[in-house]
Amino acid sequence: MILSGDLKTLEWGCSKCKGDEFADGDDKRKIRNCDSESNPNVAWAWMPELRRCPMSQIDNEAWECIAWWSEYKEFNALPWGGSDLMDQPNFVIDVFVLCSNISKVAEEERAKRWRAQER
């Protein structure tokens, strides 16, 4: 969602996936299909095959990796400190490459949809 630019879905959450401060979202768990395998009424342009709440599919480690990448892109801050990306552990560079590739694909999809709407 971060990489896709879907800020509305990024605001979703319930106490199970984001903690007690999101308990207000618990009543929407069934509609958002948090616990089931699939719901034909739930879909996103950025990932049509995902038929459930994306938050229920992302673990804490993945959120932490996305946060590293986001902080690097926005503030040039590296998770293990320093100013040289090449001084980071290899897995950090792997995370940044993966996030950059996903972001590029999402941006290409957004541009394709925008061009299609212009016609």
Count the domains in the chain.
2
Whether residue 101 sits in one domain with residue 77: yes
Whether residue 69 sits in one domain with residue 48: no
Whether residue 65 sits in one domain with residue 78: yes
Mean pLDDT over 5-27 rounds to 84
- DSSP assignment of 27-52 equals GGTTTTTSSSS--TT--BTTBTT--S
Whether residue 86 sits in one domain with residue 64: yes
In the listed set 58, 87, 104, which residue is the last one of a domain according to the structure?
A: 58
**Burial 54-84, CB ≥16 within 10 A → b, else e:** bbbeeeeeeeebbebbeebeeeeebbeeeee
How far apart CA 52 and CA 70 sit, in angstroms, is 24
- Domain span holding position 37: 1-58
Whether residue 66 sits in one domain with residue 34: no
Q: Which residue has the higher pLDDT, 80 or 116?
A: 80
Whether residue 81 sits in one domain with residue 37: no
In the listed set 35, 58, 81, which residue is the last one of a domain according to the structure?
A: 58
Other Cβ atoms less than 10 A from the Cβ of 10: the count is: 13
In the listed set 43, 58, 73, which residue is the last one of a domain according to the structure?
A: 58
Single-letter residue type at 36? S
Whether residue 49 sits in one domain with residue 21: yes
Span 31-83, pLDDT tens digits: 888 887 777 777 777 777 888 888 878 888 998 999 999 999 999 999 999 99
